[in-house]
């Protein structure tokens, strides 16, 4: 028995001694690795680490160092492989954390242009490192480039404390604020950006924000010098002129409006910008209406056809111009006159003016948003991460919630604000498609709309199961508080051209009294405001 105890004690001593010898050997090895890293001798460090790895493939410190060295050598895929081993083992050496490993994987995948994988690991890392500069920076730009503006804002705000003196980042976050209709926040960021670096993009974004907030004169002062700069791309110069005209319209300086329309018409003709000539022609026509020059607008109606403005728009507006001319004469003669046609034209012009310069226009000039077909499924990835975290018993806060039953007033307002103001045009178009389907229609044809003439939206020729009627469904978001009779007549005209029996309109804004009276008297028009379809939209619009 005593011999057995002695043997055990000797074995224990040998084991302890071996442990300390190995620890000392390992410590010395890592000290040497650190020295090699300091001297940027990564190749030699890699050789030593690979030998250590062959001896013990479960040593997490060795695995981590191999990932780090390969990252420095720009062997990104090899580095990802070693980081992945740590994630699979879910054991990490004391010099790092799980969040840091997830972050490094996300950044490496980003560098390899594997954006889906990058977003997964960076979003995963954000639960462990919610205030990390790099995690939030990369997530912000992934979401911006894929058109998920509400989520991008969240991560942009988290990155802001680290990048408050970075002019490019400030202007990019401001762009997100503009997309979300947060013009005050955008203005503050852009003032800081221009104060740091007076680059062209920041100045144009600032001028746009000022113009939409009523700072028309300062916006013009910012933009006018840019019109004479060398190297301004044609599309950008066109947009600058449009903002200047927009500002002068709101300032009611008719001479400046006419001057810049002439400049712009000469410019688009000289540069052969055929798609823009149509917009300029319609803008000149609408400016006549804006300044109550109804006779000039009447003379220009035939010219509109040359600018390829749709017949339905011309046919709709012409009777109102005729009535406005007649009643303007009656007013001058001191005779009784009808103000209604003039008010309808004012409403029509205001809708056009509100959509004359759009956030979408400026985004397309400075940012490339991934096409819908190429977008990563952000919400599916978020769901996967959340499920992973639930397995790990991590407390999470969901960005995505299923649709419930009835909606509160606050929920309706939030959904309608999202639908009207906070969706980019591409997403809005897709949501229009889904909304039409969720209303029970089968889409047989989707029609293009002139956003500068008819408001932003989509038109559809549809059928319904067991219903012989053809439906014309128009989804619209107008930058106006009320929609006038002219807009409804335009939709009716298009419905007739497409041989439809019934008209269904979903609008971001309610009708004027005149338009409502017209709809009420019509037997084939069904009108819905955004709030009426909010329960359907809740199931369609990602809740972020």
Weakest mean pLDDT among 15-29, 331-345, 468-482? 15-29
Predicted pLDDT of residue 12: 52
pLDDT at 484 over 90: no
Render pLDDT for 89-119 as a digit per residue (tens, 0 to 9).
888 888 888 999 999 999 999 999 999 999 9
Residues 324 and 430 in one domain: no
Task: Supply the mean pLDDT for the chain.
Answer: 86
Residues 411 and 530 in one domain: yes
pLDDT at 396 over 50: no
Q: How many domains does the chain have?
A: 3
Predicted pLDDT of residue 514: 85
Q: Nearest CA to 119 among 151, 163, 85?
A: 151
For residue 496, the surrounding DSSP H or E stretch is helix 485-497
Residues 433 and 302 in one domain: no
Q: Taking residues 153-180, report their average pLDDT.
A: 95
Q: Nearest CA to 174 among 363, 358, 361?
A: 363
Residues 425 and 524 in one domain: yes
Please, is 469 exposed, middle or buried when counting C-beta atoms within 10 Å of its C-beta (0-12, 13-18, 19+)? exposed
- Residues above pLDDT 90, as percent of the chain: 51
End-to-end distance of the chain based on CA atoms, in angstroms?
A: 72
Tokens of 425: 């045009």
Round to whole Å and give the CA distance between 343 and 351.
12
- Domain of residue 46, residue span: 25-137
pLDDT at 120 over 90: yes
Render pLDDT for 486-543 as a digit per residue (tens, 0 to 9).
888 889 988 998 999 999 999 888 888 888 889 988 889 999 988 888 888 888 875 4
Render pLDDT for 239-286 as a digit per residue (tens, 0 to 9).
999 999 999 999 999 999 999 999 999 999 999 988 898 899 999 999
Residues 339 and 453 in one domain: no
pLDDT at 400 over 60: no
Say if CB 356 and CB 452 are below 8 A apart: yes
Residues 334 and 458 in one domain: no
Residues 325 and 409 in one domain: no
Render pLDDT for 408-419 as a digit per residue (tens, 0 to 9).
767 777 788 778
| Domain annotation covers residue 265 | no
Residues 340 and 409 in one domain: no
Say if CB 475 and CB 435 are below 8 A apart: yes
Question: pLDDT band at residue 161, thresholds of 50, 70 and 90?
Answer: very high
Contacts with 66 (C-beta within 8 Å, 6 or more apart), sequence order: 46, 49, 50, 53, 78, 79, 82
Residues 415 and 306 in one domain: no
Residues 332 and 434 in one domain: no
Predicted pLDDT of residue 395: 38
Round to whole Å and give the CA distance between 73 and 96.
20
For the whole model, what pTM was predicted?
0.78
Residues 306 and 427 in one domain: no
Weakest mean pLDDT among 28-32, 276-280, 330-334? 28-32
Question: pLDDT band at residue 450, thresholds of 50, 70 and 90?
Answer: low
Which residue did the predictor score with more confidence, 338 or 420?
Answer: 338
| Domain annotation covers residue 306 | yes
pLDDT at 287 over 90: yes
| Domain annotation covers residue 390 | no
| Domain annotation covers residue 274 | no
| Domain annotation covers residue 95 | yes
Contacts with 259 (C-beta within 8 Å, 6 or more apart), sequence order: none
| Domain annotation covers residue 469 | yes
Predicted pLDDT of residue 257: 97
CATH number for position 458? 3.40.1350.10
Boundary of a domain, candidates 92, 121, 137 = 137
Round to whole Å and give the CA distance between 419 and 421.
6
| Domain annotation covers residue 99 | yes
| Domain annotation covers residue 165 | no
Boundary of a domain, candidates 324, 347, 370 = 347
The vertex-426 CA angle with 268 and 421, nearest 5°, equals 95
Residues 413 and 536 in one domain: yes
Boundary of a domain, candidates 90, 106, 137 = 137
Predicted pLDDT of residue 28: 64
């Amino acid at each position: 028995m005593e011999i057995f105890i002695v043997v055990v004690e000797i074995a224990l001593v040998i084991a302890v001694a071996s442990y300390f010898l190995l620890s000392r050997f390992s410590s010395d090895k890592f000290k040497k690795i650190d020295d090699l890293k300091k001297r940027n001798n990564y190749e030699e460090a890699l050789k030593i680490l690979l030998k250590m790895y062959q001896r013990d493939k479960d040593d997490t410190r060795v695995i981590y160092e191999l990932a780090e060295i390969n990252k420095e050598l720009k062997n990104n895929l090899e580095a990802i492989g070693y980081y992945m081993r740590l994630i699979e083992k879910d054991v990490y050496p004391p010099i790092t954390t799980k969040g840091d490993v997830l972050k490094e994987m996300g950044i490496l995948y980003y560098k390899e242009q594997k954006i889906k994988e990058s977003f997964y690991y960076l979003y995963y890392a954000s639960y462990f490192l919610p205030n990390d500069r790099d995690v939030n920076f990369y997530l912000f730009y992934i979401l911006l480039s894929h058109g998920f503006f509400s989520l991008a804002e969240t991560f942009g705000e988290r990155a802001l404390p680290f990048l408050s003196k970075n002019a490019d980042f400030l202007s990019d976050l401001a762009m997100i604020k503009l997309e979300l209709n947060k013009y005050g926040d955008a203005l503050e960021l852009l003032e800081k950006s221009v104060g740091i670096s007076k680059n062209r993009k920041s100045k144009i974004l600032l001028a746009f924000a000022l113009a939409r907030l009523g700072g028309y004169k300062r916006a013009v002062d910012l933009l006018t010098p840019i019109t004479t700069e060398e190297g301004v791309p044609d599309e950008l110069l066109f947009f600058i002129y449009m903002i200047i005209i927009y500002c002068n319209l709101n300032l009611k300086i008719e001479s400046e409006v006419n001057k810049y329309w002439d400049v712009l018409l000469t410019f688009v003709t000289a540069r052969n910008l055929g798609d823009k000539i149509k917009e300029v022609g319609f803008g000149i026509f609408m400016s006549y209406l804006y300044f109550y020059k109804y006779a000039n607008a009447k003379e220009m109606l035939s010219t509109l056809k040359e600018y390829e403005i749709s017949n339905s728009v011309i046919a709709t507006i012409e009777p109102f111009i005729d009535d406005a001319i007649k009643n303007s004469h009656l007013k001058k003669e001191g005779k009784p006159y009808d103000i209604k046609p003039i008010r309808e034209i004012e409403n029509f012009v205001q809708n056009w003016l509100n959509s004359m310069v759009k956030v979408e226009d400026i985004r397309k000039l400075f940012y490339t948003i991934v096409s819908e077909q190429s977008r990563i499924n952000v919400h599916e990835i978020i769901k996967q991460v959340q499920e992973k975290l639930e397995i790990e018993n991590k407390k999470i806060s969901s960005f995505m919630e299923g649709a419930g039953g009835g909606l509160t007033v606050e929920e309706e307002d939030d959904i309608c604000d999202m639908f009207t103001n906070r969706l980019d045009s591409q997403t809005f178009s897709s949501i229009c498609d889904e909304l039409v389907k969720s209303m029970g229609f089968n889409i047989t044809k989707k029609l293009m709309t002139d956003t500068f003439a008819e408001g932003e939206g989509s038109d559809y020729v549809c059928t319904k199961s067991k219903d012989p009627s053809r439906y014309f469904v128009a989804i619209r978001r107008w930058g106006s508080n009320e929609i006038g009779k002219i807009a409804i007549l335009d939709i009716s005209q298009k419905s007739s051209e497409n041989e439809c029996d019934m008209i269904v309109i979903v609008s971001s804004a309610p009708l004027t009294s005149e338009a409502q009276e017209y709809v009420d008297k019509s037997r084939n028009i069904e009108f819905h405001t955004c709030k009426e379809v909010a329960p359907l939209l809740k199931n369609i619009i990602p809740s972020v």
